[in-house]
Amino acid sequence: MDTTSLFSHERALLTDEDEKTARAQLSSWITDFFGDVGIKQLLGEADRSVAENVVFEVALNAHRHEGTRAFRIFSQSNNIALHYESNTYYGLEELMAEARGRGGFDSLEMLETETQGRVNLNYRASSGHSQWICSVARLGYADDPCAINLHDMTDVELEIFKSDCVGCTQVHVHGHLHDHSSDNWVTARYVKQLVDEGYQVVVHSKPGPMAKHLRKTITDMLDGRENFELSVHA
């Protein structure tokens, strides 16, 4: 098996109305799917565990809060996506507003603290559907509508992305492959465009002095506003 990408696969599930039964069905379905697409060959056990957990929790929340029973899960080269019909769009903002100690909130916190940016979760709502995208950072972001890698992107492609990411709760911006101080200004200008258009932006950078420079550059570009989050990881 190619350990530089996920195996493309798709499965559907119709759960029981009873939450206890649905919980068991979702758990088994998601665990089996993660195994089928080769996630164990790409992530360490801890990262795989919290990634699997967060997908389970968002599916359970859809069943609990929206009455969702029909789910579809599919994988592309670099991510696993959960898809279902949605009336209320119970997404990232709603999960983040939950009190600590609730499964959904805790799963997001665990994903952030345990994977340190190696695995990302994005949410996109469109045309009566919700989609959760769990991406493996080192595999790139070509198939993630809520994330962009600025390396080698043209101005036209950047404009197209801003149109395509409509409906994403957060937009993840990954800087140049080999960041320099001048590259950070390119990243900062694009982050400002996204922030000015109302997007919540998470900016990714490697540890070190360039990450500190990137934070200061973006803050200066935003006139002191801290309307972004900086995720620093290898």
For residues 138 and 12, give the distance between their C-alpha atoms in angstroms, rounded to a whole number. 27
What's the mean pLDDT when you consider all of the chain?
87
The pLDDT confidence band at residue 176, using thresholds 50, 70 and 90, is low
Domain 1-137 - what CATH class? alpha beta
pLDDT beyond 60 at 177: no
For residues 152 and 1, give the distance between their C-alpha atoms in angstroms, rounded to a whole number. 29
For residues 211 and 120, give the distance between their C-alpha atoms in angstroms, rounded to a whole number. 19
Q: How many CA atoms lie within 13 A of 27 on its CB side?
A: 7
* Confidence at residue 178, expressed as pLDDT on a 0 to 100 scale: 56
Residue 234 near residue 207, CB atoms below 8 Å: yes
Map 15-82 to HEC letters. Answer: CCCCHHHHHHHHHHHHHHHHHHCCHHHCCCHHHHHHHHHHHHHHHHHHHHHHCCCEEEEEECCCEEEE
Higher pLDDT, residue 147 or 68? 68
Residue 194 near residue 162, CB atoms below 8 Å: yes
The pLDDT confidence band at residue 51, using thresholds 50, 70 and 90, is very high
The pLDDT confidence band at residue 1, using thresholds 50, 70 and 90, is very low
Residue 130 near residue 156, CB atoms below 8 Å: no
**Confidence (pTM):** 0.71
Radius of gyration of the chain (CA): 18
Strands 129-136 and 200-205: unpaired
Give the three-state DSSP class for 73: strand
Mean pLDDT lowest for which of 74-78, 86-90, 139-143?
A: 139-143
The pLDDT confidence band at residue 207, using thresholds 50, 70 and 90, is confident
Question: How far is residue 57 CA from its own chain's centroid?
Answer: 14
* Confidence at residue 3, expressed as pLDDT on a 0 to 100 scale: 62
Our CA angle for 217, 135, 133, nearest 5°, is: 105
What percentage of the chain reaches a pLDDT higher than 90?
42
